[in-house]
Amino acid sequence: MFRVVFYHPEIPPNTGNAIRLAANTGCELHLIEPLGFSLEDKYLRRAGLDYHDLAHVRVHADLAAAWRALAPERVFAFTTRGTRRYTDVRYAETDVLLFGPESTGLPDDVLADPMVTERLRLPMLPTSRSLNLTNTASIVVYEAWRQLDFAGS
């Protein structure tokens, strides 16, 4: 199933909610250090409820370590500076879906990483700055999963 990657996540409840997303959809959640919190954080635990044992979560020391572990064929980086909408892609279950930190999004060097296949965006009103990290990941995961006819559900 899809591999969701959070690069330097900062807010524990967002990652807790992503753990629930992974547990409910079968996707994997990969976290790239440094994290803005401890995995023992009470807010992370509360947001993830009792889903921690049902989710596949892995922490990587840096992006290079994640690429070695994931060996991705395609990496879609989500950014407000994306060139295509997330709905214009035909997803495969081995795709990597890459999201940046809550306060800044993905930095230029990550967006320029040769492993990144394409930069994608979610439409929003021009007066808006960004969507919540896990809300964005959820929207994308469910679109990708829908394209696979919700395989495994």
Which residue positions form the known binding site for S-adenosyl-L-methionine?
A: 100, 122, 130
Token pair belonging to 96: 């990597």
**Cα–Cα dist 35/37, whole Å:** 5
Between vectors from CA 11 to CA 92 and to CA 82, what angle results, nearest 5°? 40
**Cα–Cα dist 10/26, whole Å:** 23
CA distances from 152 to 24, 27, 56, 122, 146 (A): 11, 11, 16, 26, 11
Report the amino acid identity of residue 138.
S
Binding site residues, as ranges? 100, 122, 130
